[in-house]
A and B are shown apart, each in its own frame.
Chain A
Amino acid sequence: MKDQPDLNLSPEVSDEIRKTTCYMCACRCGINVHMKDGKVAYIEGNKDHPVNQGVLCAKGSAGIMQVNAPSRLKAPMKRVGPRGSGEFEEISWEEALTIATDWLAPVRKEDPSKLAFFTGRDQSQSFTSLWAQGFGTPNYAAHGGFCSVNMAAAGIYTMGGAFWEFGQPDWDHTKMFVLFGVAEDHDSNPIKMGIGKIKERGARMVGVNPIRTGYNAVADDWFGITPGTDGLLIMALIHELFKAGKLDLDYLARFTNASCIVNEDPSSDENGLLLRDDEGQPQVIDKNTGHLAPWNGQGVEPDLASTHRAAGVTHRPVFHLMADRFLDPKYAPDEVAEATGISADRIKQLAADMAHVAFDEAIELDRPWTDFRGKKHAKMIGRPVSMHSMRGISAHSNGFQTCRALHTLQIILGAVETPGGMRFKPPYPKPATAHPKPHGKVTPGGALNGPHLGYPHGPEDLMLKEDGSAIRIDKAFTWENPLSAHGMMHMVISNAHAGDPYKIDTLFMYMANMSWNSSMNSTGVMEMLTDTDEDGEYVIPRIIYSDAYSSEMVAFADLILPDTTYLERHDCISLLDRPICEADAVADAIRWPVVEPDRDVRGFQSVLCELGARLNLPGFVNEDGSQKYEDYADYITNHIRRPGIGPLAGWRMGEDGLSDGRGDPNEGQLDSYIKNGGFWHSEVPKEASYYKPFNAAYQKWAVEMGFFDSEQPYIFTPYVEPLRRMQLAAEGHGRVQPPDHLRQQVKDTMDPLPIWYAPLSDERIDTSEFNVHALTQRPMAMYHSWGSQNAWLRQLHGRNPLYVPTKIWEQHSFEEGSWAKVTSPSGVIVVPVMHMAALNENTVWTWNAIGKRKGAWALDEKAPEATEGFLLNHLIHELLPEQADGMRWSNSDPVTGQAAWFDLRVKIEKVAAPTEAQPATPAQKSPVGKGPNSQAWKVGK
């Protein structure tokens, strides 16, 4: 036998490790970037990092192929061909910034609302919103409106936070984890780590999703539900638990407004609101006295049962209204089985399992704590049923109320902020009352009167002009969708094109692929972006766009401000914004340039610092008119939001040296972050670790950390008064009332207790003709449109057939290689199909955002993403099918305006294979050329 070769078993791994934050998706994991000869050699997870604890997904490890991607934009560009052609000329930054200033300065002077500034998958919203506020336009938002605002808003209004950045299952204690809908695209590594953890312990996992891929593939039990009926299933589960009395009554009485008394006087203009004392506090009946008392009174023991009689009217606690609602026989399992596609027996079993785990397998932690009424509790009692959900249940026109139902289910089990249930991540929980309200007062040449986005509490908070028309271009915070807390980016182009509610001058967007996968009706949006008026001018006169890559949207801009990749820039993942905290720790993080750009590109936020100064925006200039922040790093270090509070909470300068949370700016702050691996974190004290909204120790710590300036305990609100206030207006009360054509919709959908109604488009189309549901799922190895430019990731998911369940496959005699014509009420696509058995029998689906326009992303025009890849977006209209009323009804949730992507219904026919998927959009010219024909990317010697 030949001798074994002598191997060097300890080769040098790298010259240096630079630790920063990943941005291959929105998850924000810590990464170790191994450098060789000044180049990125290898990327792995950071073991000390609170989010990912060393693990890293496929996207994160493929970051090296993003930093070298041929799709990276190289320099500022101005358009020289027609819009959409992709014909550009490279220009200098000076020229680019001069053009932008020349366009924007007159707009600001005359009417700032003629600028619509929307920032897509932005992770710097507390900064970009400040810029927009300084500019003075009311037209600012990020992409939440077309993503998961239903989840976020329902969570905030119901209990002060939802999932992902707000909260997480208590992975260490939970015994039953129930996952609703597609969730592979947010909080991705923590969820996978959590699933691994509970499987190791033998805890049970239940998946509710029409499609059994990803996390649902490893679920112990799978419920292949009919799309859009999640809320109905949840209402049935609540029904069963109420019927059986399997409720955490003590928790409901103490920590929720189930014990608050409702004004039931039908003649009152506050009918349906909570009875309040002279100080405006909702009232409960105190068991100690039998009398009304404020909900937060010291020593008060709220009663769920007793009623209050005054002036001949009996006023009941919310809990009685909940019983009325949830015991309604229409929510019985037998009644909902057909619509949900889940048998009554299985629904009952699921409810029984939840009850069994919550109450028979309860957890007790020996951790004494004191609540806000001063009551001392010897133990922390846990109901170890945890849940998670993101876009799947929220991207429906009934999504807000469905998400509310989900949180109510958690609450009646006592499984929020208790051991084994769901836990909030600081600075959450934070109720709607602790958030700003929306602002929209425009002053020519001046700043907006406050932050754009927020949580309305009643009709007075809506963004309406005196004549009732919308203040905002996206019509957020109007009667069409009063609680649109994240704005409605998906309506901006359509409304700007229609001049409804008004015309704009400049559309300025960042990191949002609106001409392609981020819009409904992509073909229509491309037409709107290129449409001209009778004078031959573009209907949307000017478009400025910033992106790091040659996306489909680039071709539609007049001016391109090229951004850096995530390894070439400063960023801060701030407590003022969307932080990276865990249930046991408050944390924030930075990105920093671990490599310098090799192109003439600049971080978008740094560009805004300079553009803001050129436009003389308040907050971006010094008193002498000079530029206030040299770049984004300068802003991160020196911006002060409130006294002692800045973008980063770690290593601030306190009175006695370095401090956490509060303190003055510290010039060495970014260096301290870099030295610590790119993040800061501080642990929640043990006695404050659960019951956070009600826990005196947590409230004290939250003030010390600067989340709040005063302690503000609150109780969960299964009964949401702001919804009832909107209903009251629709019933004819108050100064601000909905227009007549919206009254009924407001009454029907703004119910203060969770309800379920069928997706709105179902009423407007023939569901027997369009009898198939069509959805997208998120491949775990791709993030929206970004993955296809990545040489490694596109080898994993380069194709996206339409997956068809067995029943439909056989009905149409599909076979391998077949193509189908898929028709919705608003569009037609022709696409390749593939059989998949693990599906709801009436649901087809494909991977999200694999399809690409020819010429985009530096791909060859023959790339499968461009020839066989497709989008369902062409089938989804931003407006509902036209009705006799002639009104424009948005295809969105009527409460929040969330894009109802997943309400889509189609019909399917087998057709002969075309040469490529239809519609085939003509190519755009690539401003960056094409990628190489082969590569072997080794940077070391």
Chain B
Amino acid sequence: MTTLPTSTTKKLGLVIDLDTCVGCHACVISCKGWNTENYGAPLSDQDPYGENPTGTFLNRVHSYEIQPKEAPAQLIHFPKSCLHCEDAPCVTVCPTGASYKRVEDGIVLVNEQDCIGCGLCAWACPYGAREMDQEEKVMKKCTLCVDRIYNENLPEEDREPACVRTCPAGARHFGDFADPESNVSRLTAERGGMDLMPEMGTKPVNKYLPPRPKDRDRSEDVDILAPFLEPVATETTGFLGWLDKALDAMPGSSKGGKN
């Protein structure tokens, strides 16, 4: 059994905007690339050119359909990686202390030297956010790019997780939730950021911004919009009569002569 810190100085995490995520998987592959080359064992692939290709990913995008009663169905793209929970069950379940939550910033990591690959943490995680690497037999998970965010070999503007840096739609935001003035805290407050499965009691740090309402019923808008479509004429000839008047009324118009 491993213990969690009673509190962390910072609470680093992600805000993921489900209103903007187009499901392009840019974050998935950027993460795969960075974390194959960097922190710990590379993310391996089994049967990569074969019948059943599988590999280790620290971040995946799932898609769900929603069928509202009175509106067209919707498709929601839902990127999911470790949520760096405050009460992380994956840490407390770890028999060797390999899984831990950092005191200074709250990032949940696996110390691969101590990981025996027992898989208990993946079983304890209600989000399915951990994956056992089949080549190295160690548990892999999102590190929040701990080897980028403080990295003095990177320009300051690049010291953010690879998935955030690459997201084309700007749907991913990184910051400190312990600071109420941070970008992520403000976005969460403004847009009603939500916990994923709060009933699990894990207190996830990452937050999801819900999709804005779509395809709202516009029937009551017809009155408001009506003036914009009030006919100037029903016949072409009437329209051209209107045109003469409309052109006369335009600023700077001088009456055009008939030739």
Chain A interface (Cβ < 8 Å from any Cβ of B): 1-2, 4-5, 7-13, 34, 36, 41-45, 47, 52, 54-62, 64, 70, 188-189, 192-193, 195-197, 199-200, 212-215, 217-222, 224, 240, 242-246, 249-250, 253, 285, 287-292, 301, 303-309, 319-320, 323-324, 327, 345-346, 348-349, 351-353, 355-356, 359-360, 780-781, 789, 791-796, 798, 836-839, 858-860, 862-864, 930-940
Chain B residue with the shortest CB-CB distance to A216: B75
Q: How many residues of B contact A (CB 8 A)?
A: 106
Contacts of A193 in B (CB 8 A): 168-170
Complex Cα distance A197/B170, Å?
A: 8
8 Å CB contact of A937 from B19, B36, B109, B211: B36
**Complex contact B36–A55 (CB within 8 A):** no
Known: A11-B151, A936-B41. 5 other contacts (CB 8 A): A243-B239, A245-B246, A246-B228, A931-B48, A935-B44
Give the chain B neighbours of A862 by CB distance below 8 A: 50-51
| CA gap between A60 and B167 in the complex, in Å | 12
Q: Are A306 and B258 in contact, CB atoms less than 8 angstroms apart? A: yes
Question: Are A13 and B154 CB-contacts (below 8 A) given A1-B3, A243-B231, A346-B218?
Answer: yes
30 example contacts (A-B, Cβ-Cβ < 8 A) are as follows A10-B150, A11-B153, A13-B151, A36-B37, A42-B34, A44-B166, A47-B157, A57-B168, A192-B22, A193-B168, A193-B170, A196-B20, A199-B17, A244-B228, A244-B232, A285-B256, A323-B243, A324-B236, A351-B228, A356-B228, A781-B29, A792-B32, A836-B65, A837-B73, A838-B65, A838-B74, A932-B48, A933-B50, A935-B44, A936-B36
Contact B256–A859 (Cβ < 8 Å): no
CB distance from B211 to the nearest CB of A (A): 8
In this complex, the member of A196, A242, A864 whose beta carbon has the largest number of chain B beta carbons within 10 angstroms is A196
* Chain A residues whose CB sits within 8 angstroms of the CB of B153 once the complex forms: 10-13
> Which secondary structure dominates where chain B touches chain A?
loop
Contact B49 A934 (CB under 8 A): no
Give the segment of B81-89, B95-103, B117-125, B198-206 that binds chain A.
B95-103
Among B33, B55, B158, B219, find the residue whose CB has the most chain A CB atoms closer than 10 A: B33
B29 touches A863 (CB 8 A): no
On whether the beta carbons of B49 and A352 are closer than 8 Å, the reply is no
Q: How far is the CA of A794 from the CA of B32 in the complex (A)?
A: 13
Q: Distance in Å from the Cβ of A855 to the closest Cβ of chain B?
A: 12
B179 within 8 A of A: no
B214 touches A240 (CB 8 A): no
Given A189-B168, A349-B218, also A249-B250 (CB < 8 A)? yes
A308 shortest CB reach to chain B, Å: 5
Contacts A323-B240, A349-B222, A355-B229 given: A55-B166 contact, CB under 8 Å? yes
B166 A45 Cβ-Cβ under 8 A: yes
Check B53–A220 contact: CB distance below 8 A.
Answer: no
In the complex, the answer to whether A5 meets B111 with C-beta atoms within 8 Å is: yes
- Closest chain A CB from B20 CB (angstroms): 5
What chain A residues lie within 8 Å of B234 (beta carbons)? 243
Chain B residues contacting A352 (CB-CB under 8 Å) are 225-226, 228-229
Given contacts A193-B168, A242-B239, contact A837 B26 (CB under 8 A): no
Contact A287 B20 (CB under 8 A): no
Does B69 sit at the interface, judged by CB under 8 A?
Answer: no
Give Cα A793–Cα B168 distance, bound, in whole angstroms.
17
B146 beta carbon closer than 8 Å to chain A = yes
Q: Judging by beta carbons under 8 Å apart, are B218 and A290 in contact?
A: no
Interface centre among B28, B67, B136 (most CB of A within 10 A): B28
* A246→B229 contact, CB < 8 A: yes
Interchain CB contact under 8 A, A792 and B166: no
Contact between B24 and A57 (Cβ–Cβ < 8 Å)?
yes
Chain B, residues 54-78, CB within 8 Å of chain A (1/0): the string is 1101000000010100001111110
- Top 4 closest pairs, chain A to chain B, by CB: A290-B257, A931-B49, A837-B73, A352-B225
Q: How far, in angstroms, from A933 to B50 measured CA to CA in the complex?
A: 7
Given contacts A4-B100, A42-B34, A863-B49, contact A195 B169 (CB under 8 A): yes
Known contacts A11-B151, A792-B32, A838-B74: A61-B26 contact under CB 8 Å: yes
**Looking at the complex, which one of B22, B46, B250 makes contact with A215 (CB distance below 8 Å)?**
B22
Q: Are B21 and A796 in contact (CB under 8 A)?
A: no
- Give the chain B neighbours of A218 by CB distance below 8 A: 19-22, 169, 211
CA distance A240 to B219 in the complex (A): 17
For A291, give the chain B residue with the smallest CB separation: B259
- Chain A nearest CB: distance from B225 CB in Å? 4
Complex: how many Å from CA A292 to CA B48?
71
Q: How far is the CA of A434 from the CA of B169 in the complex (A)?
A: 36
Point out the residue from A61, A222, A303 that lies within 8 Å of B72, measured CB to CB. Answer: A222
With a cutoff of 8 Å between Cβ atoms, the chain B residues found around residue A52 in the complex are 168
B75-A196 in contact (CB<8A): no
- Interface membership of B221, Cβ < 8 A: yes
- Give Cα A4–Cα B8 distance, bound, in whole angstroms: 13
In the complex, what distance in Å separates the CA atom of A509 from the CA atom of B115?
Answer: 53
- Residues on A with beta carbons closer than 8 Å to the beta carbon of B51: 860, 862-864
Residues B258 and A290 in contact, CB atoms below 8 Å apart: yes
Known contacts A195-B20, A796-B25: A791-B33 contact under CB 8 Å: no
Q: B44 contacts A934, CB within 8 Å?
A: yes
Option from B36, B151, B212 in Cβ contact (under 8 Å) with A10: B151
| Given A245-B232, A245-B242, also A858-B49 (CB < 8 A) | yes
Nearest residue, chain A, Cβ from B20: A199
Are A58 and B37 in contact, CB atoms less than 8 angstroms apart? no
Q: Does B182 contact A (CB under 8 A)?
A: no
CA distance A36 to B244 in the complex (A): 72
B150 to chain A, nearest CB (A): 4
Q: How far is the CB of A434 from chain B (nearest CB, A)?
A: 31
